[in-house]
Amino acid sequence: MRINMKHVWIVFKKELKDAFRDRKALLVGIVLPMLFIPVIFIISTVAAKSAYEVKLQKTPIAVLGKENSKMLTQMIQKSEFQMVDSKNPKKDLQDGNIKAVLIIPKDFEKLILQEKQVQVKILTNDADMKFSNVGSMLTEMINNLSKEITKRRLIQKNLDPSIIEPIVIKKENVAPPQKQSATFLSFLLPMFLTLWVAVGGMNAAIDITAGEKERGTLEPLLTTAATRTSLVTGKYLAVSFMALLAGFSSLVGVIVSFIALPNVLGSALKNGPILDYKVSPLTILIMLIVVILTAIIFAAIEVAIAAYARSFKEGQTYLSPISIIVVIPPYLTMYKMPNELTSTYFVLPLVNAISILKELIYDIINLQHLALFVVSSLVYIAISISFASKMFENEKVLFRS
Protein backbone atom coordinates (compact mmCIF):
# COMPACT_ATOMS: atom_id res chain seq x y z
CA MET A 1 0.00 0.00 0.00
CA ARG A 2 1.20 3.53 -0.79
CA ILE A 3 2.95 5.55 1.91
CA ASN A 4 2.31 9.27 2.19
CA MET A 5 5.26 10.76 4.11
CA LYS A 6 3.24 13.86 5.02
CA HIS A 7 0.65 11.65 6.73
CA VAL A 8 3.41 9.60 8.36
CA TRP A 9 4.91 12.81 9.78
CA ILE A 10 1.53 14.01 11.09
CA VAL A 11 0.85 10.66 12.80
CA PHE A 12 4.41 10.54 14.16
CA LYS A 13 4.11 14.04 15.71
CA LYS A 14 0.68 13.28 17.13
CA GLU A 15 1.83 10.04 18.80
CA LEU A 16 4.96 11.66 20.19
CA LYS A 17 2.91 14.51 21.72
CA ASP A 18 0.70 11.92 23.40
CA ALA A 19 3.74 9.96 24.61
CA PHE A 20 5.41 13.07 26.09
CA ARG A 21 2.20 14.02 27.92
CA ASP A 22 2.52 10.84 29.98
CA ARG A 23 5.00 11.97 32.66
CA LYS A 24 5.08 8.58 34.38
CA ALA A 25 6.08 6.90 31.10
CA LEU A 26 8.81 9.52 30.59
CA LEU A 27 10.14 8.90 34.08
CA VAL A 28 10.27 5.13 33.51
CA GLY A 29 11.49 5.31 29.91
CA ILE A 30 14.04 8.13 30.03
CA VAL A 31 15.02 9.26 33.53
CA LEU A 32 15.23 5.85 35.24
CA PRO A 33 17.52 4.22 32.59
CA MET A 34 19.94 7.15 33.01
CA LEU A 35 20.07 6.74 36.79
CA PHE A 36 19.64 2.98 37.04
CA ILE A 37 23.01 1.84 35.66
CA PRO A 38 25.19 4.22 37.76
CA VAL A 39 23.23 3.30 40.89
CA ILE A 40 23.55 -0.42 40.14
CA PHE A 41 27.28 -0.05 39.55
CA ILE A 42 27.79 1.75 42.85
CA ILE A 43 25.71 -0.83 44.73
CA SER A 44 27.43 -3.82 43.06
CA THR A 45 30.88 -2.29 43.65
CA VAL A 46 30.23 -1.69 47.34
CA ALA A 47 28.60 -5.14 47.67
CA ALA A 48 31.52 -6.86 45.92
CA LYS A 49 34.04 -5.08 48.15
CA SER A 50 32.18 -5.96 51.33
CA ALA A 51 31.82 -9.59 50.17
CA TYR A 52 35.53 -10.16 49.51
CA GLU A 53 37.24 -7.82 51.95
CA VAL A 54 37.43 -9.69 55.25
CA LYS A 55 38.91 -7.53 57.99
CA LEU A 56 40.83 -10.00 60.13
CA GLN A 57 40.98 -7.71 63.13
CA LYS A 58 37.21 -7.88 63.30
CA THR A 59 36.92 -11.62 62.65
CA PRO A 60 36.25 -13.42 65.92
CA ILE A 61 37.31 -17.08 66.23
CA ALA A 62 37.21 -19.52 69.15
CA VAL A 63 40.32 -21.58 69.96
CA LEU A 64 39.69 -24.73 72.00
CA GLY A 65 42.81 -26.09 73.75
CA LYS A 66 44.80 -22.86 73.83
CA GLU A 67 46.80 -24.32 76.74
CA ASN A 68 47.89 -27.27 74.54
CA SER A 69 50.14 -25.19 72.28
CA LYS A 70 51.81 -21.97 73.21
CA MET A 71 53.39 -21.46 69.81
CA LEU A 72 50.11 -21.93 67.92
CA THR A 73 48.21 -19.71 70.35
CA GLN A 74 50.88 -17.01 70.22
CA MET A 75 50.89 -17.13 66.44
CA ILE A 76 47.13 -16.50 66.35
CA GLN A 77 47.42 -13.77 68.98
CA LYS A 78 50.02 -12.02 66.84
CA SER A 79 47.76 -12.29 63.81
CA GLU A 80 44.76 -10.07 63.22
CA PHE A 81 42.24 -12.73 64.23
CA GLN A 82 40.38 -11.99 67.44
CA MET A 83 40.28 -14.95 69.86
CA VAL A 84 37.02 -15.01 71.84
CA ASP A 85 35.68 -17.36 74.53
CA SER A 86 32.66 -19.48 73.72
CA LYS A 87 30.66 -21.85 75.93
CA ASN A 88 29.00 -23.48 72.95
CA PRO A 89 31.34 -23.01 69.94
CA LYS A 90 29.28 -24.99 67.40
CA LYS A 91 26.11 -23.05 68.17
CA ASP A 92 27.94 -19.73 68.16
CA LEU A 93 29.45 -20.69 64.80
CA GLN A 94 26.05 -21.62 63.36
CA ASP A 95 24.54 -18.41 64.75
CA GLY A 96 27.33 -16.34 63.18
CA ASN A 97 28.67 -15.02 66.53
CA ILE A 98 32.10 -16.47 65.70
CA LYS A 99 33.50 -17.19 62.23
CA ALA A 100 35.63 -20.31 62.88
CA VAL A 101 36.62 -22.74 65.63
CA LEU A 102 40.19 -24.05 65.95
CA ILE A 103 40.60 -27.22 68.06
CA ILE A 104 44.14 -27.97 69.32
CA PRO A 105 44.58 -31.54 70.69
CA LYS A 106 46.02 -32.17 74.19
CA ASP A 107 49.21 -33.87 73.01
CA PHE A 108 50.05 -31.21 70.39
CA GLU A 109 53.37 -30.04 71.93
CA LYS A 110 54.40 -33.60 72.92
CA LEU A 111 53.87 -34.99 69.39
CA ILE A 112 55.70 -32.03 67.84
CA LEU A 113 58.69 -32.63 70.12
CA GLN A 114 58.62 -36.34 69.21
CA GLU A 115 58.64 -35.29 65.54
CA LYS A 116 55.34 -37.05 64.98
CA GLN A 117 52.31 -35.96 63.02
CA VAL A 118 49.59 -34.04 64.87
CA GLN A 119 46.11 -33.10 63.72
CA VAL A 120 44.27 -29.87 64.44
CA LYS A 121 40.63 -29.34 63.48
CA ILE A 122 39.05 -26.21 61.98
CA LEU A 123 35.27 -25.81 62.07
CA THR A 124 33.69 -23.29 59.66
CA ASN A 125 30.21 -22.26 58.62
CA ASP A 126 30.34 -22.16 54.81
CA ALA A 127 26.73 -20.98 54.66
CA ASP A 128 28.12 -17.59 55.69
CA MET A 129 29.40 -16.46 52.27
CA LYS A 130 31.26 -13.42 53.55
CA PHE A 131 33.35 -15.45 56.00
CA SER A 132 33.54 -18.79 54.17
CA ASN A 133 37.21 -18.10 53.43
CA VAL A 134 38.16 -17.71 57.11
CA GLY A 135 38.83 -21.47 57.26
CA SER A 136 41.21 -21.16 54.31
CA MET A 137 43.04 -18.28 56.01
CA LEU A 138 43.48 -20.29 59.22
CA THR A 139 44.59 -23.35 57.22
CA GLU A 140 47.19 -21.31 55.39
CA MET A 141 48.47 -19.85 58.67
CA ILE A 142 48.85 -23.31 60.26
CA ASN A 143 50.42 -24.74 57.08
CA ASN A 144 53.04 -22.00 57.23
CA LEU A 145 53.77 -22.98 60.86
CA SER A 146 54.00 -26.64 59.81
CA LYS A 147 56.53 -25.75 57.10
CA GLU A 148 58.54 -23.73 59.62
CA ILE A 149 58.64 -26.69 62.04
CA THR A 150 59.73 -29.03 59.22
CA LYS A 151 62.42 -26.58 58.20
CA ARG A 152 63.79 -26.46 61.77
CA ARG A 153 63.86 -30.27 62.01
CA LEU A 154 65.77 -30.60 58.76
CA ILE A 155 68.28 -27.93 59.78
CA GLN A 156 68.82 -29.75 63.10
CA LYS A 157 69.64 -32.88 61.08
CA ASN A 158 72.00 -30.90 58.85
CA LEU A 159 69.71 -31.33 55.85
CA ASP A 160 68.77 -28.72 53.27
CA PRO A 161 65.07 -27.70 53.83
CA SER A 162 64.63 -27.27 50.10
CA ILE A 163 64.77 -31.06 49.55
CA ILE A 164 61.16 -31.36 50.69
CA GLU A 165 60.08 -28.65 48.29
CA PRO A 166 61.52 -29.64 44.89
CA ILE A 167 59.05 -27.48 42.98
CA VAL A 168 58.18 -23.90 43.93
CA ILE A 169 55.11 -22.41 42.29
CA LYS A 170 54.89 -18.69 41.76
CA LYS A 171 51.51 -17.52 40.50
CA GLU A 172 51.15 -14.25 38.67
CA ASN A 173 47.96 -12.70 37.42
CA VAL A 174 48.74 -11.19 34.02
CA ALA A 175 45.18 -9.99 33.33
CA PRO A 176 45.20 -6.18 33.05
CA PRO A 177 42.71 -4.34 35.30
CA GLN A 178 40.68 -3.41 32.18
CA LYS A 179 40.07 -7.10 31.38
CA GLN A 180 39.16 -7.94 34.96
CA SER A 181 36.65 -5.10 35.02
CA ALA A 182 35.25 -6.29 31.67
CA THR A 183 34.52 -9.73 33.12
CA PHE A 184 32.34 -8.10 35.75
CA LEU A 185 30.61 -5.75 33.32
CA SER A 186 30.08 -8.15 30.42
CA PHE A 187 27.11 -9.76 32.09
CA LEU A 188 25.39 -6.71 33.58
CA LEU A 189 25.83 -4.10 30.88
CA PRO A 190 24.34 -5.91 27.83
CA MET A 191 21.38 -7.02 29.91
CA PHE A 192 20.61 -3.51 31.19
CA LEU A 193 20.99 -1.89 27.77
CA THR A 194 18.71 -4.36 25.95
CA LEU A 195 16.24 -4.40 28.84
CA TRP A 196 15.72 -0.64 28.78
CA VAL A 197 15.47 -0.62 25.00
CA ALA A 198 12.80 -3.33 25.22
CA VAL A 199 10.70 -1.62 27.88
CA GLY A 200 11.32 1.95 26.68
CA GLY A 201 8.76 1.84 23.86
CA MET A 202 6.36 -0.58 25.49
CA ASN A 203 3.92 1.95 26.98
CA ALA A 204 3.86 3.98 23.77
CA ALA A 205 3.18 0.83 21.69
CA ILE A 206 0.25 -0.13 23.90
CA ASP A 207 -1.18 3.39 24.08
CA ILE A 208 -1.18 4.04 20.31
CA THR A 209 -2.80 0.70 19.45
CA ALA A 210 -4.78 -0.97 22.22
CA GLY A 211 -5.18 2.36 24.04
CA GLU A 212 -6.74 3.97 20.97
CA LYS A 213 -9.09 1.00 20.58
CA GLU A 214 -10.19 1.40 24.19
CA ARG A 215 -10.73 5.16 23.85
CA GLY A 216 -12.59 4.65 20.54
CA THR A 217 -10.24 6.95 18.60
CA LEU A 218 -8.80 4.32 16.27
CA GLU A 219 -11.84 4.01 13.98
CA PRO A 220 -12.04 7.77 13.22
CA LEU A 221 -8.29 7.72 12.54
CA LEU A 222 -8.76 4.92 10.00
CA THR A 223 -11.42 6.94 8.14
CA THR A 224 -8.98 9.77 7.42
CA ALA A 225 -7.16 10.19 4.12
CA ALA A 226 -4.06 8.55 5.55
CA THR A 227 -3.50 4.99 4.37
CA ARG A 228 -3.07 2.21 6.93
CA THR A 229 0.54 1.82 5.87
CA SER A 230 1.12 5.51 6.57
CA LEU A 231 -0.65 5.20 9.93
CA VAL A 232 1.28 2.14 11.07
CA THR A 233 4.56 3.66 9.84
CA GLY A 234 3.97 6.87 11.81
CA LYS A 235 2.99 4.92 14.94
CA TYR A 236 5.89 2.54 14.50
CA LEU A 237 8.36 5.43 14.16
CA ALA A 238 6.97 7.04 17.33
CA VAL A 239 7.44 3.81 19.32
CA SER A 240 10.95 3.41 17.87
CA PHE A 241 11.74 6.97 18.95
CA MET A 242 10.65 6.29 22.53
CA ALA A 243 12.62 3.02 22.62
CA LEU A 244 15.66 4.86 21.26
CA LEU A 245 15.32 7.55 23.92
CA ALA A 246 15.37 4.84 26.59
CA GLY A 247 18.40 3.23 24.93
CA PHE A 248 20.23 6.59 24.72
CA SER A 249 19.38 7.33 28.35
CA SER A 250 20.83 3.99 29.48
CA LEU A 251 23.90 4.63 27.32
CA VAL A 252 24.34 8.01 29.05
CA GLY A 253 24.12 6.09 32.32
CA VAL A 254 26.90 3.80 31.09
CA ILE A 255 29.13 6.74 30.12
CA VAL A 256 28.50 8.43 33.48
CA SER A 257 29.34 5.16 35.25
CA PHE A 258 32.64 4.74 33.41
CA ILE A 259 33.84 8.36 33.30
CA ALA A 260 32.21 10.42 36.02
CA LEU A 261 31.81 7.92 38.87
CA PRO A 262 35.48 6.87 39.19
CA ASN A 263 36.47 10.57 39.24
CA VAL A 264 33.78 11.66 41.68
CA LEU A 265 33.83 8.58 43.92
CA GLY A 266 37.42 7.46 43.38
CA SER A 267 38.19 6.63 47.02
CA ALA A 268 34.79 5.03 47.58
CA LEU A 269 35.29 2.82 44.51
CA LYS A 270 38.92 2.01 45.34
CA ASN A 271 39.69 -1.55 44.19
CA GLY A 272 36.17 -1.72 42.76
CA PRO A 273 35.47 -3.61 39.53
CA ILE A 274 34.99 -0.53 37.31
CA LEU A 275 37.58 1.92 38.63
CA ASP A 276 40.16 1.13 35.94
CA TYR A 277 37.68 0.56 33.12
CA LYS A 278 37.71 2.93 30.14
CA VAL A 279 35.68 2.98 26.93
CA SER A 280 36.74 4.61 23.68
CA PRO A 281 34.49 6.94 21.62
CA LEU A 282 34.44 4.29 18.84
CA THR A 283 33.15 1.70 21.30
CA ILE A 284 30.41 4.11 22.41
CA LEU A 285 29.50 4.76 18.75
CA ILE A 286 29.14 1.04 17.96
CA MET A 287 27.12 0.55 21.16
CA LEU A 288 24.86 3.31 19.87
CA ILE A 289 24.34 1.43 16.57
CA VAL A 290 23.52 -1.74 18.51
CA VAL A 291 21.00 0.18 20.62
CA ILE A 292 19.36 1.73 17.51
CA LEU A 293 18.94 -1.57 15.63
CA THR A 294 17.71 -3.38 18.74
CA ALA A 295 15.22 -0.61 19.53
CA ILE A 296 13.76 -0.74 16.00
CA ILE A 297 13.22 -4.52 16.23
CA PHE A 298 11.54 -4.30 19.62
CA ALA A 299 9.35 -1.38 18.49
CA ALA A 300 7.94 -3.35 15.54
CA ILE A 301 7.31 -6.46 17.63
CA GLU A 302 5.61 -4.46 20.38
CA VAL A 303 3.37 -2.56 17.93
CA ALA A 304 2.33 -5.87 16.31
CA ILE A 305 1.52 -7.57 19.62
CA ALA A 306 -0.18 -4.53 21.15
CA ALA A 307 -2.35 -4.15 18.01
CA TYR A 308 -3.91 -7.53 18.83
CA ALA A 309 -4.97 -6.41 22.33
CA ARG A 310 -8.45 -5.03 22.95
CA SER A 311 -7.51 -2.74 25.85
CA PHE A 312 -4.49 -1.06 27.47
CA LYS A 313 -4.54 -3.61 30.31
CA GLU A 314 -4.67 -6.53 27.88
CA GLY A 315 -1.77 -5.01 25.97
CA GLN A 316 0.29 -4.83 29.17
CA THR A 317 -0.47 -8.51 29.79
CA TYR A 318 0.69 -9.50 26.29
CA LEU A 319 3.86 -7.40 26.36
CA SER A 320 5.04 -7.92 29.94
CA PRO A 321 6.72 -11.31 29.14
CA ILE A 322 9.10 -9.40 26.84
CA SER A 323 10.87 -7.90 29.86
CA ILE A 324 11.46 -11.45 31.13
CA ILE A 325 12.52 -12.88 27.76
CA VAL A 326 15.12 -10.11 27.39
CA VAL A 327 17.09 -11.25 30.43
CA ILE A 328 17.46 -14.85 29.12
CA PRO A 329 20.04 -14.29 26.31
CA PRO A 330 22.63 -12.78 28.72
CA TYR A 331 22.66 -16.13 30.52
CA LEU A 332 23.52 -17.91 27.24
CA THR A 333 26.71 -15.87 26.98
CA MET A 334 27.34 -15.44 30.70
CA TYR A 335 30.11 -18.06 30.96
CA LYS A 336 31.50 -17.45 27.46
CA MET A 337 34.62 -15.42 26.89
CA PRO A 338 34.56 -13.31 23.68
CA ASN A 339 36.94 -15.73 21.92
CA GLU A 340 34.46 -18.57 22.58
CA LEU A 341 31.56 -16.82 20.80
CA THR A 342 31.04 -18.50 17.44
CA SER A 343 29.44 -16.87 14.39
CA THR A 344 26.05 -18.37 15.35
CA TYR A 345 25.85 -16.08 18.38
CA PHE A 346 26.02 -13.04 16.10
CA VAL A 347 22.99 -14.01 13.97
CA LEU A 348 20.54 -15.23 16.63
CA PRO A 349 17.91 -12.61 17.50
CA LEU A 350 18.80 -10.53 20.56
CA VAL A 351 21.70 -12.90 21.34
CA ASN A 352 23.56 -11.12 18.52
CA ALA A 353 23.17 -7.74 20.26
CA ILE A 354 24.26 -9.21 23.60
CA SER A 355 27.30 -10.86 21.97
CA ILE A 356 28.41 -7.68 20.17
CA LEU A 357 28.04 -5.66 23.38
CA LYS A 358 30.08 -8.29 25.22
CA GLU A 359 32.89 -8.00 22.68
CA LEU A 360 32.79 -4.20 22.89
CA ILE A 361 33.08 -4.32 26.66
CA TYR A 362 36.28 -6.33 26.21
CA ASP A 363 37.40 -3.60 23.76
CA ILE A 364 37.16 -6.04 20.83
CA ILE A 365 35.88 -4.75 17.49
CA ASN A 366 35.53 -7.75 15.17
CA LEU A 367 34.37 -6.50 11.76
CA GLN A 368 33.14 -9.95 10.67
CA HIS A 369 31.00 -10.31 13.79
CA LEU A 370 29.81 -6.73 13.43
CA ALA A 371 28.74 -7.40 9.82
CA LEU A 372 26.88 -10.57 10.88
CA PHE A 373 25.09 -8.59 13.58
CA VAL A 374 24.09 -5.72 11.26
CA VAL A 375 22.90 -7.97 8.40
CA SER A 376 20.95 -10.33 10.68
CA SER A 377 19.43 -7.35 12.53
CA LEU A 378 18.30 -5.79 9.24
CA VAL A 379 16.63 -9.09 8.31
CA TYR A 380 14.85 -9.19 11.71
CA ILE A 381 13.82 -5.55 11.28
CA ALA A 382 12.28 -6.33 7.85
CA ILE A 383 10.44 -9.37 9.26
CA SER A 384 9.18 -7.53 12.36
CA ILE A 385 7.99 -4.49 10.37
CA SER A 386 6.20 -6.77 7.89
CA PHE A 387 4.58 -8.59 10.81
CA ALA A 388 3.48 -5.28 12.39
CA SER A 389 2.03 -4.02 9.08
CA LYS A 390 0.04 -7.22 8.52
CA MET A 391 -1.35 -7.09 12.05
CA PHE A 392 -2.45 -3.49 11.52
CA GLU A 393 -4.03 -4.21 8.15
CA ASN A 394 -5.97 -7.23 9.41
CA GLU A 395 -9.43 -5.97 10.41
CA LYS A 396 -10.21 -9.19 12.32
CA VAL A 397 -7.29 -8.40 14.55
CA LEU A 398 -7.76 -4.65 14.67
CA PHE A 399 -11.47 -4.69 15.47
CA ARG A 400 -11.80 -7.93 17.42
CA SER A 401 -14.17 -7.74 20.38
pLDDT per residue as tens digits for the range 356-371 = 988 888 888 899 999 9
Q: Which of 64-73, 79-88, 209-218, 352-361 has the lowest mean pLDDT?
A: 209-218
- Distance set, CA 75 to CA 27, 37, 68, 69, 100 (Å): 58, 46, 13, 10, 16
% pLDDT > 70, the chain: 86
Q: Is residue 246 within 8 Å of 356, Cβ to Cβ?
A: no
Asked if residues 377 and 353 have their Cβ atoms less than 8 Å apart, the reply is yes
Kindly tell me if the per-residue pLDDT of 346 is higher than 80: yes
282 burial class (0-12, 13-18, 19+ CB within 10 angstroms)?
A: exposed
Q: Give the integer Cα–Cα distance in Å for 234 and 309.
A: 19
pLDDT tens, position by position, 225-241: 778 888 888 888 888 88
Q: Rounded CA gap, 29 and 157, in Å? A: 76
Q: Are strands 60-64 and 82-83 parallel, antiparallel or unpaired?
A: parallel
Distance separating alpha carbons of residues 235 and 62, to the nearest angstrom: 69
- Judged against a pLDDT cut of 90, whether residue 218 lies above it is answered with no
Question: Which residues lie closer than 8 Å to 62 by C-beta, 6 or more apart?
Answer: 83, 84, 85, 86, 89, 92, 93, 98, 100, 101, 102
- How far is it, in rounded angstroms, from Cα 19 to Cα 28? 12
Sheet with 82-83: list strands edge to edge. Answer: 82-83, 60-64, 100-103, 121-124
Q: Which residues of 159-196 are buried (b: 16+ CB within 10 A; e: fewer)?
A: eeeeeeeeeeeeeeeeeeeeeebbebbbbbbbbbbbbb
User: Per-residue pLDDT for 376 more than 90?
Assistant: yes
Q: What is the pLDDT of residue 362?
A: 83
CA–CA separation, 398 vs 220, rounded Å? 13
pLDDT tier for residue 178 given thresholds of 50, 70 and 90: low
Over residues 136-162, mean pLDDT: 88
Can you tell me the distance from the alpha carbon of 299 to that of 293, in angstroms, rounded to the nearest whole number? 10
Report in angstroms the alpha-carbon separations of 105 from 76, 79, 99, 153, 375: 16, 21, 20, 21, 70
